[in-house]
Amino acid sequence: MRSLPAKLTKAQLVYRLKKEGITVPKSAKVADMKHRLTHWKSGEGYLVRLLRLPSPKWENHPVSLLNNKSELYWLPPSDMAREIIESRLVLVLGNEGEHSSDAVIIDVPSGYRKVKQHGSNDSADS
């Protein structure tokens, strides 16, 4: 995750997003652009479908954001997406730069960094 200078103009944020290979949000709000720069990576997002519902042991894991096996989900290229895919509770159906109109968008939550620092399911039962 990147740390950003406190004061960046919209133009600077757009420049950095494009330089990193991250799509600029349509809203073009400073907060949205900073969020993407902090959490997203370059590349295409992932279309996934739940194979099975997460059990309570996955409560603090990002896979718990997905809660319907019949839905198609789009995940942005990020550490969160990597964790969800590595959980093996989802089936990756493909990569897409922009989300599909029939997919539910699961963006990186604003508290994602705090969840990672205060414990997650990284110490899985082995």
- Exposure string of 77-88, with b = 16+ CB inside 10 Å and e = fewer, is bbbbbebbbebe
25-77 pLDDT, tens digit each = 887 788 888 888 888 888 889 999 999 988 888 888 999 889 999 999 999 99
| Predicted confidence (pLDDT) at residue 92 exceeds the cutoff of 90 | yes
The pTM of the full predicted model, rounded to 2 decimals, is: 0.77
Domain range summary for the chain, segments of one domain joined by +: 10-39, 45-117
